[in-house]
Amino acid sequence: MHKSKKVPLAKGVYMALKTTIITGATSGIGQETALALAAQGHALYLLVRNILKGEQLKQQIADKTGNKEVFVINCDLADLQSVRDAADELSKKLFAINTLINNAGGIFEERQINKNGFEMTFVTNYLGHFLLTQNLMPLLQKGQARIINVSSEAHKMGKPQFDDLQWSQSYSAFKAYGMNKLFSIYFAQSLAEKFADKGILAFSLHPGVVKTEFGAGLKGLGKILMLLASPFMISAEQGAETTVFLATAPRLDKYNGAYFKKKKKAKTSAIATDTPSRNKLWDISEKLLSRYLVWPSV
């Protein structure tokens, strides 16, 4: 069990290391977030689906920042058993978690179904993170954690399509992506509401339009849109700034549940403030995940 560690600042003065879990750190925004937080002394747990990429990043972090408190854990968000196993492993290793960054995500040109029977946009961007967060909840509470969901302005294209969350009638990559980024905003709001009295803060954010591997698999119109946006894209380092801000800035309590852009509280779509939809999503998520959830609902 890794108890909270302490680093010497000066003789006799110690600062506890923050323990931070991050998904999707093997590329783009997540990679820059991991590097920035490692440079600030966070102990990092990289939850990755590609162990080789995770180990390479661990080495890169050690080379660039000198921080060797970096650990690689297997976690494929599109495989719910893998998510549960990762949470179990962390629960055995750690006493508490101070930051959870639900960053991994993607958009899928064609409709795909994962091995648990869920549509890939839904499980990768939202449902896998719901399971991870819920199964880590005792550790998150012990660490008075901040939970940070990387959402997107694309949520403004999204509607909660509860009658067909799996897009089995007709599939649109952008609509499915928009809906699931809306869900990550709902999720942060619900976490803030349900767990504020346990010391949890939860946020969602838009990182900007960022030059990363995001959308690399798109074809046709999607590819053209990405190419058109390309000259206006910010760097992954700039794209990580709002996540790093939410992970490190003091006194964010009054913003609990809020959506951020450019390190500032920002306006969501009107539908993202719809409490009945948000509550409905929570109930559905718990039902869909009942085989994998470890802790009872609140």
Ligand X SMILES: NC(=O)c1ccc[n+]([C@@H]2O[C@H](COP(=O)([O-])OP(=O)(O)OC[C@H]3O[C@@H](n4cnc5c(N)ncnc54)[C@H](OP(=O)(O)O)[C@@H]3O)[C@@H](O)[C@H]2O)c1
Which is the catalytic residue, given 45, 126, 177, 292? Answer: 177
What is the closest distance, in whole angstroms, from the C-beta atom of residue 13 to ligand X in the complex?
36
Shortest approach of ligand X to residue 12 CB, angstroms?
Answer: 40
Nearer residue to ligand X within complex by CB, 7 or 52? 52
Separation between Cα atoms, residue 281 and residue 279, nearest integer Å: 5
- Indicate whether 36 belongs to the interface with ligand X (CB under 6 A): no
Which of 256-265 are b and which e, b meaning 16 or more Cβ less than 10 Å from the residue's Cβ? bbbbbbeeee
The answer to whether 160 touches 263, Cβ cutoff 8 Å, is: no
Tell me how far apart the alpha carbons of residues 50 and 80 are, in angstroms, rounded to a whole number. Answer: 16
Q: Please indicate whether residue 45 is annotated as part of the active site.
A: no
Kindly identify the residues of this chain, within the stretch 242-271, that bind ligand X according to CB under 6 A. Answer: none
What token pair was written down for 27? 């590329």
Of residues 151-210, which lie at the interface with ligand X (CB under 6 A)?
Answer: 152, 206-207, 209-210
| Residue choice 36, 136, 150, 258 for contact with ligand X (CB under 6 A) | 150
Give the CA-trace dihedral at 255, 258, 264, 267, to 10 degrees: -130
| Per CB under 6 A, 76 contacts ligand X | yes
Widest CA span in the chain:
65
Q: Confirm or reject binding of residue 106 to ligand X (CB under 6 A).
A: yes
Q: Report in angstroms how near the CB of residue 76 gets to ligand X at its nearest.
A: 5
Residue 1 CB-half CA count within 13 A:
9
* From candidates 35, 70, 104, 218, binder to ligand X by CB under 6 A: 104
Can you tell me which of 45, 186, 203, 214 binds ligand X, judged by CB under 6 A?
Answer: 214
- Phi first, then psi, for residue 201 (nearest 5°) are -115, 140
Which residues sit at the interface with ligand X, rule CB under 6 A? 23-24, 26-30, 49-50, 53, 76-78, 103-106, 124, 150, 152, 206-207, 209-210, 212-214
Q: Which residues are marked as active site?
A: 177
